[in-house]
Structure 1
C-alpha cells in the first residue's frame, strides 16, 4: 500500500511539474509559429542528435560492463544496456534522479549480481558522472570569465549553486566509495537508530547480513582502489558519454540552417545547463532546464527561433531519451523482472583475501 501511494505521489508530482513547465514556456507564445519553424529544419542534422542520445545511454552501459568485467563478473553488453535504460528512465521521472540506481540494483540482483558489488559499481559510475560536471563547472567558473560575463550573467546564482551541490555530492560519495570502513560504520549505526525508533524490529540475522554485505563492499572497494587505471578509463568514457548529449544542441542549431556561433560556445552552454540543474529536486530538471535554455541561448539563436530550438533540443535530449528508456525498461521487466532471485549468491573479489557471500541487507 505504501509503495502504491508513493508511486501515485511521484506520478502526480511529475504531471504537475510537466504542466507547469508547459505553462511557463509557452504562455503567450504563438504555438503555430513554433511548429512552422520546427517543420522547416533539416532532418539530416537531427539524426546525429538522436544518435547522441543513444551514445549517451550506451556509454553508461559500456562503463557498467567494463567495471563488472574487472571484477570477473561476466555480463552481456546488451544486458548492461538494459540496466542503463532502466537507470535513465527512473532517474528522469523521479526528483533528484533518486529512483534510477535502486531500480538498476533491483534488476542486477535478479541476474545474481551481489547488491554490494552493484551498489559500488553504480556509485563509481555516479561519482565519475558528476565529476565531469564538477570539472566543467569549475573550469567555466574560474577560467572562462569572459564566457561567464557574455552568456551567464542572468543565471549565475543557479549556476554556482549547481556547481556547489555537485562538488558536495562527489565528496560525500567518494568518502563512501573509497573509505568503506566509514561506510560500514554509518550503515550499522543507521540500522541501530531505525531499531531504536521501532521503525525496524531488531533481528540479529539482519545485522549479520548487513555486516556481510558491507564486508563485500569493503573488499570490492579495496580492489578498485588498487586499480586506479580502471577509474581513469571510466572517467574518460564518461567525458565522451556526457559530451555526446551536449552536442545535441549544436546539431539542432545546424538543423535550423544557422551559422556564426562557435561550436564550443553552444556545447559548453548546454553543459552549463546540466551543471546547474543536475542536483535540483526536479524530475529530469524539468521546468528549470527549459527556462535556463531560453535565457542563456538568447544570443545564439535568431529571433523567432529560440523557443523552437529549445523545444527541439530538449525534446531530443530529454523526451526521446525518456521514451527510448521507457520502452527498454518495459522490455527489461518482461525479460529480467520475473526471474527468481537466488539467495546467498557467492562472489569473491579478484585479488583480495576476503571472499564474502553477497547477500542483500
Structure 2
C-alpha cells in the first residue's frame, strides 16, 4: 500500500511539472502556427530519430544481458529489454531518476535473480552512465573554449553545476566501491549525527541495512577489479547509447530541411543539456531541459523554427522514451516472473 501511495505521488508530481512546463512554453504562443510548421517537416528524418531513442533503451538491455552472462546468469535479450524499459520508465517519472534501479531490482527478483547480483550489475551501469557524462563535460571544458563562447554563454552556471554534481556523484560512487571502510565510517557517523539531532529515530535495522549495502559495494569493487575488459566494453556501449539519444536531435534538425550546422555541434549541444539536468531533482529534467534547448539552440534552428524544433526533439527523445517504456513496463507485469525464469543455457533471442 505504501509503495502504491509513493508511486501515485510521483505520478502526480510528474503531471504537475508537466502542466507547468506546457504552460511556461506555450503561454502566449500561436499553437496553430506551430502545428502548421511541424506538419511541414520531412517524416523520413523522424524515423531514424525514433530508432535512436529505441537504441538508447536497447543499449542498456545489452549491457544487462552482457554483464549477467559474465556472472553465469543467462537471460533472453527480450527479458533484458524489459528490465531496461522498466528502469527508464521509473527514471522518467521520479526526481533525479531515483526510482529506476529499485524497480529493476524488484522485477529482477521476480525472475529469481539474486538481489546482490542485480545490485552489482545496476551499480556498474550507473557508474558508467554517469562517467560518460563526466568525460564529455570535462572534454568540453578543457578543449571546447570556442564552442563554449559561441553557444553556452547564457547557461554556463547551469552547465558548470551539472558537471560538478555529476563529478561529485561519480567520486562518491568510487569511494563507496573502492574505499568501503572510509565510506562506511562516513555514513555511520552521518547516521549517528542525524539520530543525535533527533532528525531520525534510532533503529538497529537501519544500521544492519547499511552493513548489507557496504557488502554489496565490496562485491562491486571485486567485480570491477576482476573484469576490467568487461567494464571497458560496457563503457563503450554506454558511449554509443548516450550519443544515439543525442543524435536524435540532429535528425529533427534535418527534418526541417536545415543543414548548416554539423552533426557534431548538434550532438554536443544536446549532450550539454543532458549534463546540465541529469542530477537535478526533476523527472526527466522536465522544464529545465526545454528552457536550455530554447536558449542554446537559437542559432541552430533560428527564431522561427526554435519552438517547433524543441517540441519535436523533446517529444521524440523524452516523451517517446516515456511512452514506449511505460507500455513495455505494463507488458513486463504480465510476462516477468512467469514459468521461464533464469535459463541454465543461453537462449536465442
- TM-score of the aligned structures, taking structure 1 as reference length: 0.86
Render the CA deviation track for 1:108-160: whole Å, top value 9, x for unaligned: 11112121221121111111111111111111112111110111010000000
Question: Aligned partners of 1:169 and 1:326: how far apart in 2?
Answer: 27
| Residue in structure 2 matched with residue 121 of structure 1 by the alignment | 121
Question: Aligned partners of 2:40 and 2:330: how far apart in 1?
Answer: 34
1:114-263 matches, within 5 Å, as: 114-182=114-182, 199=201, 202=204, 207=208, 215=215, 218-263=218-263
Question: Aligned partners of 1:299 and 1:156: how far apart in 2?
Answer: 17
Question: Aligned partners of 1:192 and 1:168: how far apart in 2?
Answer: 23
Do the aligned residues in 2 keep the contact of 1:134 with 1:163 (CA within 8 Å)?
Answer: yes
| Distance verdict in 2 for CA 1:226–1:285, change over 3 Å | same
| Distance verdict in 2 for CA 1:333–1:139, change over 3 Å | same
- 1:29 and 2:26 aligned: no
Question: Aligned partners of 1:6 and 1:216: how far apart in 2?
Answer: 26
Question: Aligned partners of 2:155 and 2:332: how far apart in 1?
Answer: 39
Do the aligned residues in 1 keep the contact of 2:79 with 2:336 (CA within 8 Å)?
Answer: no
- 1:329 and 2:332 aligned: no
| Distance verdict in 2 for CA 1:142–1:75, change over 3 Å | same
Question: Aligned partners of 1:251 and 1:161: how far apart in 2?
Answer: 29
- 1:286 and 2:290 aligned: no
| Residue in structure 2 matched with residue 266 of structure 1 by the alignment | 266
Shift of 1:189: 7.3
- Helix, strand or coil for the counterpart of 1:303? helix
| Distance verdict in 2 for CA 1:121–1:57, change over 3 Å | same
Count matched residues. 340
Q: Which structure has more helix as a fraction of its residues?
A: 2
| Residue in structure 2 matched with residue 45 of structure 1 by the alignment | 45
Do the aligned residues in 1 keep the contact of 2:176 with 2:217 (CA within 8 Å)?
Answer: no
| Residue in structure 1 matched with residue 97 of structure 2 by the alignment | 97
| Distance verdict in 2 for CA 1:150–1:181, change over 3 Å | same
1:289-328 matches, within 5 Å, as: 289-328=289-328
Do the aligned residues in 2 keep the contact of 1:180 with 1:221 (CA within 8 Å)?
Answer: no
- Helix, strand or coil for the counterpart of 1:3? helix
| Contiguous gaps of at least 5 residues in structure 2 | 342-349
| Distance verdict in 2 for CA 1:110–1:182, change over 3 Å | farther
- TM-score of the aligned structures, taking structure 2 as reference length: 0.89
Do the aligned residues in 1 keep the contact of 2:49 with 2:316 (CA within 8 Å)?
Answer: yes
Render the CA deviation track for 1:180-209: whole Å, top value 9, x for unaligned: 4555667777888999978575469x94x8
Shift of 1:267: 0.8
Do the aligned residues in 1 keep the contact of 2:152 with 2:296 (CA within 8 Å)?
Answer: yes
- Helix, strand or coil for the counterpart of 2:29? coil
| Distance verdict in 2 for CA 1:291–1:41, change over 3 Å | same
